[in-house]
Amino acid sequence: MAVIIVFMAVIGGIVAWWLSHQRLTSKPWLEEGVIGEIPGTGASTLPAAKIGLGVFLAVVGALFAIFTSAYFMRMPMAEWRPVPVPGLLWFNTGVLVASSIALQWAVIAARRGRMGDVRWGLLAGGFTASAFVAGQLAAWQRLADAGYFVAANPADSFFYLITGMHGLHVVGGLVALGRTAAKAWDDVATDRVRESVTLCATYWHFLLVIWLALFGLLTGWGDEFAAICRQWLI
Amino acid sequence: MVPSGAVEGVLPGTAEGVPPAEADDLELYHPKSWVTKYVFSQDAKVIAIQYAGTALAIGFVALVLSWLMRLQLGFPGVFAFIDAATYYQFITMHGMIMVIYLLTALFLGGFGNYLIPLMIGARDMVFPYVNMLSYWVYLLAVLVLVASFFMPGGPTGAGWTLYPPQAILSGTPGGQEWGIILMLVSLILFIIGFTMGGLNYVVTVLQARTRGMTLMRMPLTVWGIFTATVLALLAFPALFVGAVMLLFDRVLNTSFFMPALVEMGQRLNYDGGSPILFQHLFWFFGHPEVYIVALPAFGIVSDLISTHARRNIFGYRMMVWAIVAIGALSFIVWAHHMYVSGMHPWFGFFFATTTLIIAIPTAIKVYNWILTLWRGDIHLTIPMLFAIAFIVTFVNGGLTGLFLGNAVVDVPLSDTMFVVAHFHMVMGVAPIFVIFGAIYHWYPKITGRMLDETMGKIHFWITFIGAYAIFFPMHYVGLMGVPRRYYELGETVSNLHSSDALNAFITVAALTVGAAQILFLFNLFWSLSRGRQVGGNPWRATTLEWQTPETPPRHGNWGKELPVVYRWAYDYNVPGADQDFVPQNQPTITRAA
């Protein structure tokens, strides 16, 4: 459970930092009237949707941290044979990186007010992300053809489970991207879509980071780390 | 689980992070028909009532299940329709429904939705559309759960902890049929639905507070629900992972949790899995879950006590810090549920220590409640009665928690009825008392009418005395060594039959308490049309939800102008004031002439 504990510690650190700016040591019973400048609530000036996405990413992060914890805890048990990771995954990773770059480009275009580029960015991002999902499915197909079925070995089971869960999150992102794209094609000003595009890009970058971590895990780069984890839970 | 709605549902008014003092109603989605007003509503208050109604309805199912299981324990063998399989189904479904589908849903989905926007002076949740989806996914989860009663083999009987390997073996009811599958699917749905709602509760508290409502001016109810939601958002993923992996083991024959097994002389197709892994995942969720239920209860009871004792809450800052501290600590105590799983003694030591440390902030809260009552002007209204009952019960259950938190004491008591008595006291009865107190307290705001007081008093006294009649003897039964989860004691343990009379007594008490809840249900409906009509602020309370222009509050909560907050939530009996309470949105104290 070391991974999730570390993750929780990071979240706890962020929460503690935030709380330390919230005047938790004030004595509200002595403070009558308006506090500080209007509005004086201490609420941040970020849009609600951005905060909402941030909280959601924390939840998704917790989810994958727990998957990773479970992976490391199951690994030292009997019958664990690492999956020969198909080379296709390298290609898929490249495609996902391209997808993130495309969306980042859309964000920059939206900031500069170039709607045409925003549309192209969204289109390219959506296309590459779809290609990534298709590529992951193809990788499954190859593994299954080689006899690595979902129940063949716990390492295989984890491979399908974790890539599948990540893929589902990409698909979910595509739904959001589709709605953003629909807005972008509605002939509105770029500021109307800028926030949505930024949110999509943030989600994409986050899923890319998660994928890189998972990819490292599945290819066995995390084994050293696992040795440390194992000492945590004897 | 997509952020699409999060993008869609933004209120323009809160997009800058600062709610305007004067906001037009137009910024909200306005329902155009009966269906969008009462069924697919995006109004947090309607969603709250939907959540609460669904939770109470499924809760009554769980209540009936507890009757049935008590009938078997009190009078074994008398009722032919209860065999071992159905008994296990009753206890499993009772536990799961009560913890997840009633308590969690009612505190966060019900009270959270109703109270957060009103108490912080917002018009609604920040993502109303996602909020609506949250309820419908929750309802779907409940329906899937209910469906398992009607499938071949019935619901799962694996115990509410669903421990593998037994949970998915043929010896357990529903293990090789639909029961366990539907249970896991329902949990997964519940978590997805909750995450949608939870995002709303957190972001609304963070971003939609009205002018002047600093964090340290929020009522403790909001603090409790807010912190509990953060815990739930971070803890539920562990259950999600556990449920998905167990579902894989059951449906796709993977071996995440399933070791090599021989069942009925046949070697099963599993190898090398770790049942302990599931226990870690389950309790990494399961222990924070206790506080997901307890923290809203702590918050609500603080407000009930302060309001009905006409006295400011004692040690507000400490109360806030304690809530945050308990929330943080709750993530590092989970393995105290696993002392008998064969863990390394140093782990037991570590988790026993963290468990005992959590008693400190909890005790601070209890002292502060008592010190709030001290020399207060205590009105023994029904909410107050339930609040006091909560304190007593929580202390009771907390003390046995100190016993069980110590690994050496826990080992002999593990899996006895003592544990059952402990957790029912501390996270069953105590939070339920708060829920009742809260319903009696806020019913006038929700409906404009009081719940009938005579029926309320009868309901309170039977429930309070009855709960003790059930659970006090149960501690003793547990100390005698009667194990939990046993369908019957049988002949081999004849020394335990001295507990038979007590068990019969407990059953009679349980039936009586259950019957009193029917009176409560009747009261809820009866008072809708016959209750005493009492204006907008019958308890003369300070918090914002009592200051709405209309009662019940309309869509959008406030009139044209959002309230501005000038003081904390507990200005009761301020010296020199002409009234014994000063609402949060009153700029200056009017002095008595």
A24 contact B CB<8A:
yes
Are A34 and B255 within 8 A, CB to CB?
no
Are A34 and B253 within 8 A, CB to CB?
no
As a three-state string, the secondary structure of A1-17 is CHHHHHHHHHHHHHHHH
Are B15 and A49 within 8 A, CB to CB?
yes
| pLDDT score, position B248 | 95
Q: Which residues pair with B591 in a beta bridge?
A: B577
B268 contact A CB<8A:
no
A186-219 pLDDT tens trace: 877 777 888 999 999 999 999 999 999 999 988 8
- DSSP letters spanning B480-520: TTPBTT-S---STTGGGGGGHHHHHHHHHHHHHHHHHHHHH
Q: Does domain B40-255 have CATH number 1.25.40.10?
A: no
Are B277 and A59 within 8 A, CB to CB?
no
Are B2 and A55 within 8 A, CB to CB?
no
Closest-CA residue of B relative to A24 is B216
| pLDDT score, position B137 | 97
Q: B317-531: same fold as B40-255?
A: yes
Instruction: Calculate how close chain A gets to B576, using CA atoms only, in Å.
Output: 15
Please determine, for residue A131, whether its predicted confidence score (pLDDT) is greater than 50: yes
- Write down the CATH number for the domain with range B317-531: 1.20.210.10
Q: Give the C-alpha separation, B403 to B397, whole Å.
A: 10
- List CB contacts (< 8 A) between B570 and chain A: 29
Q: What sign results for the dihedral spanned by CA atoms B360, B365, B366, B370?
A: positive
What contacts B206, CB < 8 A, 6 or more positions away? A43, A44, A51
B320-370 pLDDT tens trace: 999 999 999 999 999 999 999 888 888 889 999 999 999 999 999 999 999
A47 contact B CB<8A:
yes
Q: Give the C-alpha separation, B312 to B252, whole Å.
A: 58
DSSP state, residue B531: S
Name the residue ranges covered by the structural domains of chain B.
40-255, 317-531, 534-593
Question: Which of B22, B196, B239, B254 best tests the A interface by mutation, with the highest count of A CBs <10 A?
Answer: B254
A:84-113 residues touching chain B, CB 8 A cutoff? none
Instruction: Calculate how close chain A gets to B275, using CA atoms only, in Å.
Output: 10
B467-519 pLDDT tens trace: 999 999 999 999 988 999 998 887 766 667 788 899 999 999 999 999 999 99
Q: Give the C-alpha separation, B422 to B403, whole Å.
A: 10
B:188-217 residues touching chain A, CB 8 A cutoff? 195, 198-199, 202-203, 206-217
Are B202 and A31 within 8 A, CB to CB?
no
B444-463 pLDDT tens trace: 999 999 999 999 999 999 99
- List CB contacts (< 8 A) between B199 and chain A: 52, 55-56, 59
Cis peptide before B259 (omega within 30 of 0): no
Nearest residue to B2 (alpha-carbon basis) of A173, A197, A53? A173
CB-based contact B44:B110 (threshold 8 Å):
no
Closest-CA residue of B relative to A60 is B237
Closest-CA residue of B relative to A31 is B567
Please determine, for residue A180, whether its predicted confidence score (pLDDT) is greater than 70: yes
Are B234 and A58 within 8 A, CB to CB?
yes
Q: Give the C-alpha separation, B238 to B229, whole Å.
A: 15
Q: Which parts of chain B sit beneath pLDDT 70?
A: 1-29, 492-495, 592-593
